[in-house]
Amino acid sequence: MSPGSEQGHVFSLGGLSWPIDPNIASAQKVSAQGFGPWESVDAVIAGGGGGWAAGATGATGDFFYGDLRRPFTVAGMWGFQRVLSPSTCALKKLDGSTCVMPPAQPPTVTGFAPSSGPVGSTVSIIGTGLTATQFVAFSGAPAGAATVISDTEVRAVVPAGALTGQVKVTTRAGSVVSSNEFT
């Protein structure tokens, strides 16, 4: 969202949160953000569409988005975003045909690099189906925000409390635990 006026604005996505900087692992998450003329907000929703409201699947329904400053809301700077269940094809393609949802495949983890490291180090996790990664844990300790690089790579920071153990990756399609241990 980028306002075209000289007024300050407060952008909200109806209670959904996003990291202030999606490129920084474990960045602070906010549910409203102020910004000025010609600034923009890139909101990458924590937990994907529907956020964390319904666990790993996200909440469905209509969510308010817009400017929280009441004069702008009254002037029409708001709207609804509709979040559908991942298993639905309620919207048609632009050509009018119906969509075909491929079955969601659970992720795989084939390795990670480095294979060991101290708390605070960044680890690249390699596998498949990692685009929708929502959660990474090292021996049960949650890693905070994971950075998706591609469908085959996600990066996470080793959290405090991580011990020698397996790496767990969770997406909307399921969870997987690595066969190798991170030390």
pLDDT tens column, 69-102 = 888 778 887 787 777 665 566 556 666 666 665 6
Q: How many CB atoms lie within 10 A of CB 154?
A: 26
Residues 6+ apart with CB under 8 A from 147: 22, 23, 25, 154, 155, 156
* More confident position, 126 or 37: 126
Q: What is the mean pLDDT of residues 47-64?
A: 60
Instruction: Establish if 177 belongs to a structural domain.
Output: yes
* pTM to 2 decimal places: 0.49
Checking if the pLDDT of 111 tops 90, the result is yes
Cα(9)–Cα(7) distance, integer angstroms = 6
Query: Is the pLDDT assigned to residue 152 strictly greater than 60?
Result: yes
* pLDDT tier at 54, thresholds 50, 70, 90: very low
**53, part of any domain:** yes
118 shares its domain with 178: yes
Contact call for residues 130 and 154 (beta carbons, < 8 A): yes
Amino acid occupying residue 85: S
The reported pLDDT for the residue numbered 56 is 45
Q: Looking at the 3D structure of the chain, how many domains does it have? A: 2
Confidence bin at 17 (pLDDT 50/70/90): confident
Top-confidence residue, 86 or 24: 24
**Which residue among 37, 66, 83 closes a domain?**
83
**Any domain includes 2:** no
Please report the pLDDT score of residue 63 as a whole number.
75
Mean pLDDT of the chain: 79
> What is the distance between the alpha carbons of residues 80 and 133, in angstroms, rounded to a whole number?
25
User: Does 97 fall in a domain?
Assistant: no
Residue-range definition of the domain harbouring residue 117 = 108-182
| Cα torsion 109, 111, 114, 119: sign | positive
Predicted confidence at residue 118, as pLDDT, reads 93
Same domain, 75 and 136: no
